[in-house]
Amino acid sequence: MKPRRSFGRTPRPIGTLGENKSGQKENGSGNGLEADLEANLRAISSLLGNPSDLAVRRLALHGEPQPDIAVVYLASVVQSQEVSLTVIEPLLSLSHVSHEAQGEVAGPLEVLRLSLPTIHSIYEARSLKDLTAALLEGNVAILVDGEPAALYFDAVRPPTRLYQVPTSETTVIGPQIGLVESVDDNLALIRARIRHPRLRVEKHVIGRKSKTDVRLVYIEGVAPREVVDELRRRLSEIDTDLILDTGMLRDLITDRPYSPFVMERMTERPDTVAAEINLGRIAILVEGSPFAMLVPSQFFTLIESAEDYYLNPLSASVLKVLRMFAYMLSVLATPLYVAIVNFHFELVPLPLLLNIAATQEGVPFPLPFAAFITEVVLDIVREAGIRLPRQFGPVVSIFGAVILGQSAVQAGFVPPGLIIVAMMGTICSFAVPRAEKALAYRLIRFPLLLLGSILGFPGITIGAVAFVYHVASLKTLGIPYAALYAPGQTTRLSRKMVKVSARHQPITRPLAQADRVRQGEVPEPRDPKAND
């Protein structure tokens, strides 16, 4: 009768990571795993930064001997139900399974591998670096006390709902996938793009009644430590009943809630979140919200688009300049028109001035009042287009503005020149990629319109100086909101305005403290025929 396989101490190799096909060990596989299960678990948790989504299931098998087993995985990227069906239940009944061999003693890892028949591919890792890399990729690891190795297999969880194209940050080039309402699904999207052991995930529960799950995601050593500590403090001091969305949380942690400038960046694109985390920012995810909040933010993010990462330098630079010009027009177009017509008409060529004066005849309202009413009506039309069903919204926005404008001109309520300028400013506001910032910043045009109506260009200058002073005084989590415009930051500002080639990108992260090197030197391309 052939002997049964039992838990011995002579393991058999099973496709080991850290070894090539010839059996020779490769360099850079990292520190090896120990035979002590508790030491391995502590090392994994420490290397990953004790993440909130790290799950450890301990099992004590029956029979002789009784090895302690731990099943380790990241709950945000692994399907927990599959782990229970394919691993936990078979291992709990392992004492009833026997494997026969021709007089040889099988190691615990070999017995475990043969006891999980529903798993197609099982791999073995012998180094801590390989094992943590496998966990970050969505694998489940099985560790046995007394064995300096671990088994792992793929068990990536499916999303709770299908990923959709981002609606507020549409791009032509780049990934067409957006965040969803599940914080675990969003973490899986981020971990799929940043598979680094220093990616930290901290869990906070906020809301006396809602008990909302809030996650902080950042890279240790890249995100400023004082910013992380300050953000933790602000979250811990929140005392409210409900947190339903990232926007509600933003109002509770922002430095200047009544400022017209939105100092936190909101995005629904996981590639943008990953790119900003790599630069030293912190992502805040809220259960139930498809938007991530990135802090600390800066004023220049107003004209940045996710598409800039994927376009060539010339195209991205031209688009950035166009967005900046469009933003300035959306704010200044109507105030400048009113100031020129009322006070500085000598700047207008005489034929055009005569046409403007002719159109002003018969208008019952003063130009500043007509401009104010026109801007308010255009904002109402745009808001109505957003609230209507998606298939009717654009139609109402376009035809509503055109019909109302044409009717107002024909009725003599407003001059046609004002309609043209106001519509141009409204269209330019849509060129700004940050919808929440574009709407808030367009509110500045109303004080500028008032100052331009009373004082002309000097009034607009006073408003611009007040605008610059206010922006310079803003801080987000201790970081100046207009840091790029400070003296000595000319190089950083120019690189924000004009995109340079990837091989000429700055190699350091301005916000980082320890890991400041972002990219090494890239050699210049060479002509392959040059060596012939």
DSSP state letters, 183-248:
HHHHHHHHHHH---TTEEEEEEEE-TTT-EEEEEEEEBTTB-HHHHHHHHHHHHT---S---SHHH
pLDDT at 274: 92
Contact 333, 422 (CB under 8 A): yes
Q: What does the pLDDT look like over 336-374, one tens digit per residue?
A: 999 998 888 888 888 888 888 888 777 888 888 989 988
Same domain assignment for residues 437 and 361: yes
**Of 282-296, 401-415, 428-442, 511-525, which range is least confident?**
511-525
3-class SS of residue 435 = helix
pLDDT at 499: 73
Strands 292-295 and 475-476, by their bridges, are unpaired
pLDDT at 234: 93
- Asked if residue 122 is part of any domain, the answer here is yes
Other C-beta atoms closer than 10 Å to the C-beta of 28 total: 8
- Asked if residue 5 is part of any domain, the answer here is no
In angstroms, the first-to-last Cα distance of the chain is 71
Q: Please give the average per-residue pLDDT across 54-61, as a whole number.
A: 82
Q: What does the pLDDT look like over 306-339, one tens digit per residue?
A: 888 888 888 888 888 888 888 888 889 999 999 9
Q: How many domains does the chain fold into?
A: 3
pLDDT at 392 over 80: no
pLDDT band at 53 (very low <50, low <70, confident <90, very high): confident
Other C-beta atoms closer than 10 Å to the C-beta of 342 total: 16
Q: Please give the average per-residue pLDDT across 188-193, as a whole number.
A: 90
Q: What does the pLDDT look like over 197-222, one tens digit per residue?
A: 889 999 999 998 888 999 999 998 88
Ramachandran bin of 508, using left for φ above 0, alpha for ψ from -120 to 50, beta for the remaining angles: beta
Q: What is the 3 state secondary structure string of 343-378?
A: CCHHHCCHHHHHHHHHHHCCCCCCHHHHHHHHHHHH
Which DSSP letter does residue 115 get?
Answer: T
Same domain assignment for residues 128 and 50: yes
Same domain assignment for residues 341 and 282: no
Of residues 224 and 519, more confidence is placed in 224
- The domain boundary, picked from 243, 265, 297, lies at 297
Contact 202, 50 (CB under 8 A): no
pLDDT at 8: 41
- Asked if residue 96 is part of any domain, the answer here is yes
- Asked if residue 115 is part of any domain, the answer here is yes
- Closest C-alpha among 15, 154, 140 to residue 74: 140
pLDDT at 339: 92
- On the CB side of 532, CA atoms within 13 Å amount to 3
Same domain assignment for residues 319 and 446: yes
Same domain assignment for residues 116 and 43: yes
pLDDT at 516 over 90: no
Give the Cα separation of 218 and 224 in Å (integer): 10
**Of 219-233, 234-248, 430-444, which range is least confident?**
430-444
pLDDT band at 103 (very low <50, low <70, confident <90, very high): very low
Of residues 272 and 383, more confidence is placed in 272
- Asked if residue 51 is part of any domain, the answer here is yes
pLDDT at 285 over 90: yes
pLDDT band at 463 (very low <50, low <70, confident <90, very high): very high
Q: What is the 3 state secondary structure string of 437-501?
A: HHHHHHCCHHHHHHHHHHHCHHHHHHHHHHHHHHHHHCEECCEECCHHHCCCCHHHHHHHHCCCC
Phi, psi of 71 (to 5 degrees): -105, 120
Same domain assignment for residues 290 and 333: no
Q: Please give the average per-residue pLDDT across 396-409, as a whole number.
A: 74
20 contacts: CB under 8 Å, gap ≥ 6: 26
Kindly tell me the burial class for residue 517, based on how many C-beta atoms sit within 10 Å of its own C-beta (0-12, 13-18, 19 or more): exposed
Q: What does the pLDDT look like over 69-80, one tens digit per residue?
A: 888 998 888 877
pLDDT at 488: 58
pLDDT at 465: 93
Domain range for 269: 183-297
Q: Please give the average per-residue pLDDT across 103-125, as a whole number.
A: 72
Other C-beta atoms closer than 10 Å to the C-beta of 353 total: 15
pLDDT band at 515 (very low <50, low <70, confident <90, very high): low
pLDDT band at 14 (very low <50, low <70, confident <90, very high): very low
Beta strands in 252-291, from DSSP E residues, in sequence order: 265-267, 282-286
pLDDT band at 25 (very low <50, low <70, confident <90, very high): very low
pTM for this prediction: 0.76
> What's the distance, CA 81 to chain centroid?
28
Of residues 399 and 41, more confidence is placed in 41
pLDDT at 315: 84
- Asked if residue 58 is part of any domain, the answer here is yes
Q: Please give the average per-residue pLDDT across 495-506, as a whole number.
A: 67
Same domain assignment for residues 318 and 404: yes
pLDDT at 27: 36
pLDDT at 270: 92
Same domain assignment for residues 192 and 249: yes
pLDDT at 5: 40
Q: What's the token pair of residue 515?
A: 């890991």
Q: Please give the average per-residue pLDDT across 422-433, as a whole number.
A: 84
pLDDT at 512: 58
pLDDT at 3 over 70: no
Q: What does the pLDDT look like over 136-160, one tens digit per residue?
A: 888 889 888 888 888 888 887 776 6
Bridge partners for 205 per DSSP? 213
pLDDT at 69: 86
Chain position carrying tokens 């391309």: 525
Give the mean pLDDT of the chain: 79
pLDDT at 224 over 70: yes
Same domain assignment for residues 319 and 289: no
- Asked if residue 526 is part of any domain, the answer here is no
pLDDT at 13: 37
Bridge partners for 144 per DSSP? 69
Same domain assignment for residues 410 and 270: no
pLDDT at 336: 93
Same domain assignment for residues 447 and 418: yes
- The domain boundary, picked from 263, 297, 331, lies at 297
pLDDT at 511: 62
pLDDT band at 18 (very low <50, low <70, confident <90, very high): very low
Q: What's the token pair of residue 300?
A: 């220049």
pLDDT band at 95 (very low <50, low <70, confident <90, very high): low
- Asked if residue 130 is part of any domain, the answer here is yes
Strands 123-125 and 16-17, by their bridges, are parallel
pLDDT at 294 over 90: yes
Give the Cα separation of 279 and 519 in Å (integer): 11
- Closest C-alpha among 295, 201, 214, 277 to residue 248: 214
Same domain assignment for residues 347 and 290: no
Of residues 5 and 48, more confidence is placed in 48
Q: Please give the average per-residue pLDDT across 96-120, as a whole number.
A: 61
